[in-house]
Structure 1
Amino acid sequence: MDVAIDTPAKTFIQVAEIWVPDGDRLVHGGGSYGDLTAFKAASHRSSFAKGEGLPGKAWAEARPVVLKEFEGSIFQRTEAAAAAGLTSAVAVPVFAGKTLKAVLMVLCGDDAERIGAIEVWREKDNCLKLDDGYYGAAKHFEWVSQHTHFPRGQGLPGGVWAAETPILMRDLGSGYRFIRADSASKAGLTTGLGLPIPVPSGETYVLTLLSARGTPIARRFELWDARVAKVGKDGGAVLADGICAREGRLWDADNPRKISAWQGVIGQVVGNGLPAVESGAHGLAAGYSSMVALPIYHGAELAHIVAWYV
């Protein structure tokens, strides 16, 4: 359903960009920068060797990496980021088996208004514990998260761990399935997206994106299933779940929505197996200014695509 929606004045994530392997370096593979033109130009001029900068660190260490401040860190575009008001970033490597397909980077600014969460959970001692995360102004929720752990199947991170699939969770502040519901309600967090991040070591990582009304991570979320068992031998992907702030649920169980390889942005991800970041009206549903589509692999096979729109 394509209808015009209001674009929020502020979003929790300000920049999303893709870095793809080219020989022994990661090169710029697209991004959404809004009006941060100087930072965009600096990014287009950049590339990273393995272990170099934040994308290179995620590549070398083969795991998601959170960087809460840039000054004095491995981040290499510090001056341009400071001028753009960017203060933190999360790098998410996309592996198909042992092969790095790309690194997705999301960057945020820090002020008193931005509320949300980007969390990395890691399995330790047979439960998921917070490896690191960025929360903006949601300091109490950050403290609660640092002192919470999830057995397999419990809460959003534990549910993703048990199912090995992305999960979209609504009404975080009132949902009994969300373990941190009380503190989420106080922070104004409303929607949660959890996704497995497979890495070559076989360690368990779960990424969670928690969105608030005032500074949302996204206005629309989509979960696409690309497993052959679901889409058949001809391939493609089926919309398995989705929600939009205005449109509500996007999926009709009696009429599943399927796309073929190379059909639109999601089909492009099915076709080439790489994440996509789009900005502007081209290829997007009406009323959205940007989108991120992230492939998730099971072994070497594409299993899911997670998309969010602003």
Structure 2
Amino acid sequence: MSSSFHTIDHWSSNLSISSLPSNCFLTDVVVYDVGESGALMPSRRNEMISFAELALLSGTAEVTSTDLPLDAAAAIAIPVHCDGRVVSVVVLLARSSESSSSLPIGVFEVWEPIGIYDEVALKDGYYGTMERFHNVSSFVRFERGSGLPGQVWEERCGVIHDDLANHPGFLRAAGASADLLRTAIGIPVASDAFRSTAVLISSSENPIARGIEVWKVQPGRNEFQLSSAAYYNLGDDYPLKVGTRCSSELAPFSRLRKEKRVLVTDDPNELLAGRNPDSAVPGPASGLAIPFFEGSTLTSIILFLF
């Protein structure tokens, strides 16, 4: 199935993700570009720039639950590497609540390689009220290729696990079922070497996004293919089937390949890959596109639809 994004001119890292659903696990999304000097460029929420700088300097994903704005309970910073340097840092802020017992349900995690073996262990995470799931995760190790963090390491590409309670590849499924978690997205952080897997986990009640899609370059073909996806309350017409293809000459793929940084948009017409614009309305009003590279070659993207 061949399809296309509409050609666009205003993908930008400085646009606001202004349409997060009221039940969204996230309260905000902030993107910092890295200038030619190697320093972060100002963005619209510069109170988070020090945290973004921590990820820039470490080169790996970071999680914090301190020194945050009042609307945030936690934050995860994800650096994006291209051609041996960090080109953007994405900061996702988890929604706060007046009561700790009513915090939105969701998870941020960072898994890093440890020791001499091909294993990853939990470096840091945010779990809100889900102490049981946190305890299980603290003692787990994943071999390369095993579980979501290990699978992301093996593939060096975003991976989505949906319906976690019944997913054979999500090895903490019992804990996920108990805590009402539904969808997990694993995000690679890698330059020449693999650094970490950032994991975001959504509940049915508090999704991280209305849709999440992973698109991979098809070797020897001038197109991207949808390798995995998950959707929340987007009707029957908006979701795409895994295997849907888009020309890499079309936005956002061409723009990501050219600009080599994270992009956001607030134009719903730019989020219609493979869809009939008449039947896919109303759809998401904002999008976040995170590119991944081998050297300077774009290999895949993760698209969050809000």
Deviations 1:120-176 (A, max 9, x none): 100103211011112233232122111211112211111122222221112101222
Q: Which residue, out of 294, 301, 309, partners 2:297?
A: 301
**What TM-score comes out, normalization by structure 2 length?**
0.79
2:207 corresponds to: 216
Q: 1:198 and 1:69 mapped to 2: Cα distance?
A: 26
Q: Which residue, out of 93, 106, 109, partners 1:116?
A: 106
Aligned residues: 271
Contact 1:167 1:195 in 2 (8 A): yes
Percent of aligned pairs with the same amino acid? 24
Tell me, yes or no, if structure 1 residue 22 matches structure 2 residue 14: no
Give the residue type in structure 2 aligned to 1:213: S
Contact 2:20 2:28 in 1 (8 A): no
Q: What aligned pairs does 1:129-144 form with structure 2 within 5 A after superposition?
A: 129-144=121-136
Tell me, yes or no, if structure 1 residue 251 matches structure 2 residue 241: yes
Deviations 1:54-104 (A, max 9, x none): 11111112111111211xxxxxxx5xx22xx12321111111131221111
1:62 corresponds to: 59
Give the residue type in structure 1 aligned to 2:260: G
1:176 corresponds to: 168
Task: Extract unaligned runs of 5+ from structure 2.
Answer: 6-18, 273-281
Q: What aligned pairs does 1:140-151 form with structure 2 within 5 A after superposition?
A: 140-151=132-143
**What TM-score comes out, normalization by structure 1 length?**
0.78
User: Which structure's relative contact order is higher, taking Cα pairs within 8 Å and 6+ residues apart?
Assistant: 2
The answer to which of 148-157 and 239-248 deviates more is 239-248
Deviation at 1:230, TM superposition (A): 5.0
Deviations 1:184-228 (A, max 9, x none): 01111111111221035x24311111111101011211111135x
Q: 2:207 and 2:113 mapped to 1: Cα distance?
A: 28
1:101 corresponds to: 87
Deviations 1:4-60 (A, max 9, x none): xx984321121111111224331146xxxxxxxxxx5x53xx795xxxx11111111
Contact 1:226 1:270 in 2 (8 A): no
Contact 1:27 1:47 in 2 (8 A): no
Contact 1:220 1:243 in 2 (8 A): yes
Q: Which secondary structure does the structure 2 equivalent of 1:89 belong to?
A: strand
Tell me, yes or no, if structure 1 residue 152 matches structure 2 residue 144: yes
Q: 1:157 and 1:137 mapped to 2: Cα distance?
A: 22
Q: 1:266 and 1:174 mapped to 2: Cα distance?
A: 33
Q: Which secondary structure does the structure 1 equivalent of 2:53 belong to?
A: helix
Deviation at 1:293, TM superposition (A): 0.9
Q: 2:242 and 2:114 mapped to 1: Cα distance?
A: 38
Task: Extract unaligned runs of 5+ from structure 1.
Answer: 30-39, 71-77
Distance 1:274 1:16, change over 3 A: same
Cα root mean square deviation, aligned = 2.7
Q: Which residue, out of 266, 273, 276, partners 2:263?
A: 276
Q: 1:86 and 1:252 mapped to 2: Cα distance?
A: 33
Q: What aligned pairs does 1:188-227 form with structure 2 within 5 A after superposition?
A: 188-199=180-191, 202-226=193-217
